[in-house]
Every structure is written in C-alpha cells, then in structure tokens.
C-alpha cells in the first residue's frame, strides 16, 4: 500500500474557472498484490508423474517384437494412469469453461499412449509376417519421435510462458 498524487486538468464542470486555475491535485492510495505460483511443487505434483509415464512408454519400444502382451499392457496402463492423473488435476481446479496448458499436455500424453498401443500391435503383426525392416522402422520411429516430441512440445510451451 502506498500513496501518490494525481493531477487533473479538468475543471470538474465549474464554468467560472479559468485555464490558469486548472491543475488540481488529488491524493491517490494504491494497493499492490503480487501473486506467485510455487513452480517446484506444481511440477512435482503434475509434470513429474507424466514424465515417468512417458519414460515407461519410451521403454516399451525396447521390448522384443514377439512380446505383444507386454507392449500393449504398457500402453494401456500408461493411458489409464495418465487419465487418473488428469482427473485428479481437473478436480483440483475450479470449474472453468476453457482448456488450460496442462490439459494440452495431458492430451499429448494420451495420444502418445494410444500410438504406443498401436505400434505394439503393428510390430507384432509385422514380426509375425517376417517384415523385419518394418519392425525396426516402427521401433526406431518410436525411439526417436517420443524424445523429439517431448523436446519440441517443451520448447514450444516454454515460449508461451
């Protein structure tokens, strides 16, 4: 809270005032509030669990091609885990009619998890049909695209802040 002076050039409707008499000063009381978010706790509570889910999804691309059950289970479990985390975050926020930044982050994790399940099934089918290059391509694509997507999305989100 602090005080300052404000000068007005208005005659305030007084028709008898001359231009030389204009220049009234008023006292003004200012209130200032600084609001800061505890970034470390927010990160640990929301972003760190998502990073762990993404690390598990990334590890699924190192599972052998004939282990379709393990790869699909990793993807589905990651999807369900991220959905529970999203519901927890949504219940912590007040009811708002628009999407916040973390909503888009969660949607990205949902897409990566669904693509992980699809990649696991595609690798299994390609391995069963002896398409070795396809298996290697899908695995290499997942190993490269997940980190590239995380870095790209992270740098884009950083520019928004």
pTM (2 d.p.): 0.71
**Whether the Cβ atoms of residue 116 and residue 78 lie closer than 8 Å to each other:** yes
Beta partners for residue 4, in sequence order: 28
Residue 15 reports pLDDT greater than 80: no
Least confident of 21-25, 36-40, 81-85, 146-150: 21-25
Q: b or e along 95-118 (b: 16 or more beta carbons within 10 Å of the residue's beta carbon)?
A: eeeeeeebeebbebbeebbebbbe
- The SS3 of residue 116 is helix
Binned at pLDDT 50, 70 and 90, residue 14 comes out as: low
- The SS3 of residue 97 is coil
- pLDDT tens digits for range 44-59: 888 889 999 999 999 9
**Whether the Cβ atoms of residue 139 and residue 80 lie closer than 8 Å to each other:** no
Q: What element of type H or E holds 70?
A: helix 68-92
**Whether the Cβ atoms of residue 74 and residue 57 lie closer than 8 Å to each other:** yes
- pLDDT tens digits for range 20-35: 555 677 788 889 898 8
């Amino acid at each position: 809270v602090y005080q300052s002076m404000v000068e007005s050039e208005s005659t305030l409707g007084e028709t008898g005032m001359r231009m030389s008499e204009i220049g009234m000063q008023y006292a003004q009381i200012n209130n200032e509030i600084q609001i800061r978010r505890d970034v470390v706790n927010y990160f640990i509570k929301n972003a760190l669990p998502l990073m762990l889910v993404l690390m598990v999804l990334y590890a699924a691309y190192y599972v052998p091609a004939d282990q379709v059950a393990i790869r699909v289970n990793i993807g589905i479990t990651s999807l369900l885990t991220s959905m529970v985390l999203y519901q927890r975050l949504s219940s912590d926020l007040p009811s708002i009619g628009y999407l916040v930044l973390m909503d888009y982050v969660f949607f990205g994790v949902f897409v990566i998890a669904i693509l992980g399940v699809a990649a696991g099934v595609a690798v299994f089918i390609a391995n069963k049909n002896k398409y070795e290059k396809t298996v290697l391509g899908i695995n290499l694509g997942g190993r490269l695209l997940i980190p590239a997507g995380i870095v790209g999305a992270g740098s884009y989100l950083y520019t928004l802040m």
